[in-house]
Amino acid sequence: MTIPNLVGAGLIVIGAGIGLGKIGGSAMEGIARQPEATGKIQTAMIIIAALLEGLAFGALFLGQ
């Protein structure tokens, strides 16, 4: 791996980290406000996280 590749991988991970943090934080807040909707919020959270993760992995994969 060259230096630009490594910097790019770092940027991807920073972006994915911010995204996952926002998703997780909002889901937490949602569950705290409405504990009876925990199951639905969790499912939606996992789907969005999976889509984000697919994007991040796709970028890492293409950057190799």
Partner 1 sequence: MKIVLNSIRFFVIIATALFATTVYAGGGNKNDKDGGQVSSAEEVKEYILHHVKDSHDFTLWSYTNDEGERKHVGFPLPIILWTSNGLVTFMSSEFHHNDDGHVVVEKKGLRFAKIHSKIYELEPGASEIKFDESHHATNAHKVLDFSITKSVFGIFLVGILMFIWFRGLARQYKKKKIPTGFARILEPLVLYVRDEIARPNIGEKHYRRFTGYLLTVFFFIWILNLLGLTPLGFNVTGQIAVTAALAVFTLIIYLFSGNKSFWGHILWMPGVPVLIRPILAVIELAGTLLIKPFSLLVRLFANISAGHIVVMSLIGIMITMKASMGAVGSTLLAFVLSFFITLIEVLVAFLQAFIFTMLSALFIGMAVEEHDHH
For partner 1, which is the closer residue by CB, 21 or 57? Answer: 57
Judged by the rule CB under 8 A, the positions of this chain that interact with partner 1 are: 43, 46-47, 50-51, 53-55, 57-58, 60-61
In whole angstroms, the minimum distance from the beta carbon of 54 to partner 1 comes to 4
In whole angstroms, the minimum distance from the beta carbon of 61 to partner 1 comes to 5
Find out whether 4 and 62 touch, Cβ atoms under 8 Å. no
Tokens matching residue 38 = 């925990």
- CA distance to 26, 30, 41, per residue, from 36 (Å): 16, 10, 10
For partner 1, which is the closer residue by CB, 4 or 61? Answer: 61
